[in-house]
Structure 1
């Protein structure tokens, strides 16, 4: 308990204790009443308000494209009550409260404080939240625009049905402030797109904006929980949402307060969550992309309304852009599947693959008046929706196309050339860790992730699967026996945080470069255990040598070096290892899993080199025919 308090901080622990008391005593329930008074709001006055949205619905600066066949298919499925979950799997869903996999239906009349977000019987609640997030509205709106098929009746039918079936402060869809915020942002996008539609009648408008107001009152009323107890992408979303809704709905009595608080809190969260080298506190590429989209929206909507953010918001946005582009495969636009990945893409405004970060990074670059260097492609559509146009700007001072990159605050080291990407993570934790993955190496060659991260799978599933995907075993690094680098606690908690870690990149000669990194961990096993890794890369060649060494490990525990190759790895590459005496080592194939997207996993082999020695040198190289 003492170590937990040291890790999380006294303020966090005191707040959580107080919050749990309010929750279990019913005091929190009293704060969020189920009977909410409706107010009268004029559609005509709202249409005349001087506040600007991202685009003018009467003249959207985007070229129509009727060859977007995937978009058409999506719109047809949605009209049949089939919805895309986590950017990867389709489910039929007639209501707003039933888990599409387990069939469990949450009580829509029960107060949200009485609904657990982790329940073995119900299954992962994210499957219920996903449809109610209303991300699917972007497919309908884009289909409406590109194919000129009016979707307004379907859009408002979904929204008004949700309002009817989800009473204020009741049911699972009022449980999470971030989910609420995303829903009202997405509704707001739709309301502005159909601002002058005949379908948007005064009664529908009044019904929708009253619900938006009730939902944002719920968000503001519980904002301290997000900003103290959670403080990650949830806090970014909710604080931006308060600013966004406060700005765009000046007709609400609370608008001025929401806008002021949201702006101040969002500025604080950006400063707290993004480090000075552009890395993100959740150690996750996908969650960092959430921050990128929110930053893009924040910068664009402020500019449209002649407002500015403090300098640090723009600076950290630029540094985030540089970091993520440095980690990006130049051929595909994909990044390593590193860190927690729950399939979130809050505002999907192109037909690009979920793993392709070009749409979001291009939009942020455009908002920052920077050239994204991706050229012309379908990824530019997102920029047009948010900024109104794709402009050509000067290249940034830092270029992320090729080179060697050190992000020491976050603990990332990257070697990048025309044909390959070598990514190594080695960092210490001042803020909470999420996976035990230090010294994980991701290798990409010719646009293929040949040695990859296992992914995430699900947050609420079998305990063995949770420990596998969050733990050391699903990463390309070293285990001691079957021990993780840190001790896994309940839910998202880890004990024995890694506090000592460092790394650097240096040239040995003009053709050979090395990443050197090490950390102290495995505190549950013994004190003073160190894992050192060197990754050698020959310039212009698909050839890597990885050396791992351990210190202060008990003699009875084996050293296990683990690799997770892609399906086609052995068609084009070979891998072999030797111990400290030069003796050849043979790997053992063990069952592993790979999760490309949330909720889905496939069996895949894990290659394990094991020894009771304390050194392994591994060579990975292309077969002769592949260079």
Structure 2
């Protein structure tokens, strides 16, 4: 991870041990120069939405929206964009609904671990406190002519009263803090003329807003150095916008200036020049798309512009995801870590449907919508429906083969089929042992799948499976993944691309790639994969060759997801019990196959329409 990372981690652990983090993040923090709600109304800068009375979004009675809103009002919350759980109307904000564990609200956040066998996955506690569900209620309020302002502000006030500053689990993560305030902004701006936004509530809100920005600013090195992923982009964007949204807080003048520089650094570093993303995750890449849409929209509403490279990176980023998306349903390969994150749920499409979010950023950058369905345009409308001054050309789906060499993605779209291959370098931390993974889709259906993520905090057997090579369409050696597993999110002996690329004949598209892999077994070990995609028949020939691993048992692993898909090889086929997780926190038991081989194997995949 590098010297900078190591030095920071040592410093961070020392600060935690000697109590310096408590000093930097005091529990008695308070905003010294509050303003009245009247002063705020008279002077605030624009956000992405107008007050309720001024909104001109076409009203639609979306039935899925009504159903979700009524469940929320009844005390349910949708966890990780999939599973509904009943928390009741008097939920205390600090109990993990998956384990029943209740955190001590008097404990300083720096003393609360995010991994604990007793507590379970802390993300179950954070989920409601992110307040993304408010956006569903606000949209329901508008489209169905309701007034939920009292309910929404009572939720915010109850959270404030139940979560003292810098204490308890909900102050543990700066990204969660940032998202909470950004989601509160939707409510504050939408209901700014409501009687439910009382002076007493406003005073409480701005005090927590101040403490939240203070927390993020004074802990920003953790995400920028120790984590450096979508967390850093979220937090630096939050700081960037702080002086626009809360100019009455004097410190935001400095915090936002530094935040903007850091945000530019993170976008420049984390989004590669071919538009791919350093986390090697489709869902976390969409998270960045949402953050870019929000940031650009707020900036343009306030007559500000980011440097040109931000828009260029956003456009390339959008192009990569769009080229991997299935037009039939908006789905992408379930590739990389996927924790169910959808920060701003401003449409009612299924979580795996990327069309609303990609459509919004596409409109912002090109002044053209990719999709005109009203359900998809809903996300754009609630993002302010702005467009950039420097307009990019609209995107078009490319047929045939494409290479995204920097991120290491190779795709082929032909005759209704989409073939997705990963073969990349790792200058940034890999999350899953999945180099040379192969995904196949037909008319929007995933017929050869990735197994997903499930949970970040679960039993060791499932962690090993979902993060390891066995859950992907790759090879395993000696029952081991292609990298050596360390603690939690850590891998050793990172796989690295030696070469990869496409060639083409009259009969086939041909991918050839080779990686360093299994180097903990032999420092000279490599894995070479060649894939022939037929232009004239529905088959794929996969040739795998392992070098310098002659003394180990080898398996070629496949996860078919459609009975019409057949996989054969010269050696015997074996079946094994596997898992599949389309949504974070849930999984299904499946049957997958493998072929044992020695050094080389050739398999053929056929599909019967």
Q: Would you say 1:517 and 2:499 are equivalent positions?
A: no
Q: 1:19 aligns with which of 9, 12, 15?
A: 12
Residue 463 of structure 1 deviates from its aligned partner by 1.2
Q: Is the 8 A contact 1:34 1:170 kept in 2?
A: yes
CA distance in 1, matches of 2:168, 2:22: 13
* 1:614 is aligned to 2:609: no
558, 573, 577: which one pairs with 2:553? Answer: 558
User: What is the match of residue 425 of structure 1?
Assistant: 422
Q: CA deviation at 1:540?
A: 6.2
Partner of 2:3: 10
Structure 1 pair 139/123, CA: closer, same or farther in 2 (3 Å)? same
**Worse overlay, 426-435 or 98-107:** 426-435
Counterpart of 2:567 in structure 1 is 575
TM-superposed CA distance for 1:441, in Å, is 0.3
Partner of 1:373: 370
CA distance in structure 2 between the partners assigned to 1:605 and 1:514 by the alignment: 29
Give the 3 Å change call, closer, same or farther, for CA 27–389 of structure 1 in structure 2.
closer
Q: Take 1:288 and 1:496, find their aligned partners in 2: how far apart are those partners?
A: 25
How far apart are the structure 1 equivalents of 2:60 and 2:536? Answer: 40
Worse-matched range after superposition: 400-409 or 296-305:
400-409
**Residue 104 (structure 1) aligned with residue 101 (structure 2):** yes
CA 1:378–1:417: 2 relative to 1, 3 Å? farther
Distance 1:536 1:310, change over 3 A: same
Q: Does 1:396 align with 2:393?
A: yes
Task: Report whether the alignment pairs 1:544 with 2:537.
Answer: no
Shift in Å, 1:414? 0.2
Aligned mate of 1:56, from 32, 35, 50:
50
Q: Could you say which residue in structure 1 is the equivalent of 2:86?
A: 92
Q: 1 CA distance for matches of 2:394 and 2:140?
A: 38
- Say how many residue pairs are matched: 604
Deviations, residues 254-291 of structure 1 (Å, cap 9, x unaligned): 22122212211111100010011111000000001111
2:260 to 260, 263, 281: 263
Cα displacement string for residues 546-569 of structure 1 (whole angstroms, at most 9, x for unaligned residues):
1111111133x2221111111xx2
Measured in 2, the distance between the counterparts of 1:197 and 1:226 equals 37
- Aligned-partner SS, 1:422: strand
Corresponding residue number in structure 1 for 2:527 = 531
Counterparts of residues 430-579 of structure 1 (less than 5 Å) = 430-509=427-506, 511-539=507-535, 541-555=537-551, 557-566=552-561, 569-570=562-563, 572-578=564-570
Does the CA-based 8 Å contact 1:371-1:395 persist in structure 2?
no
Superposition pairs of residues 120-519 of structure 1, within 5 angstroms? 120-388=117-385, 396=393, 399-509=396-506, 511-519=507-515
SS of corresponding position for 1:483: coil
Provide the TM-score with structure 1 as the length reference: 0.94
Report SS of the residue matched to 1:366: helix
- Name the counterpart of 1:582: none
Alpha-carbon separation, structure 1, partners of 2:289 and 2:536:
32
Deviates more, 1:290-299 or 1:194-203: 194-203
Shift of 1:61: 3.2
Distance 1:622 1:308, change over 3 A: same
Q: Cα–Cα, structure 1 residues 542 and 41, in superposed 2: closer, same or farther, change >3 Å?
A: farther
In the TM superposition, what whole-angstrom CA distance separates every residue of 1:300-347 from its partner, at most 9, and x where no partner exists?
111111101011100100110111111111211100000000000000
**Retained in 1: the 8 A contact 2:8–2:225?**
yes
Q: 1: CA distance between counterparts of 2:605 and 2:198?
A: 64
Question: Retained in 2: the 8 A contact 1:322–1:400?
Answer: no
Tell me by how many angstroms 1:541 deviates: 4.5
Q: Do 1:87 and 1:343's aligned partners in 2 also have CA atoms closer than 8 Å?
A: yes
8 Å Cα contact 2:528-2:545 kept in structure 1: yes
Distance 2:547 2:534 in 1: 27
| Inter-partner Cα distance in structure 2 for 1:148 and 1:390 | 28
Correspondence 1:76 to 2:70? yes
Partner Cα separation in structure 1 for residue 65 and residue 93 of structure 2: 23
Deviation at 1:377, TM superposition (A): 4.2
In 2, the alpha carbon distance for the partners of 1:573 and 1:112 equals 50
Residue ranges of structure 2 left out of the alignment (5+ in a row): none
Q: Distance in 2 between matches of 1:156 and 1:232?
A: 32
Distance 1:482 1:328 in 2: 33
CA distance in 2, matches of 1:381, 1:546: 42
2:586 is equivalent to residue 600 of structure 1 = yes
CA distance, structure 2, for counterparts of residue 397 and residue 407 of structure 1? 19
Deviation at 1:209?
1.6
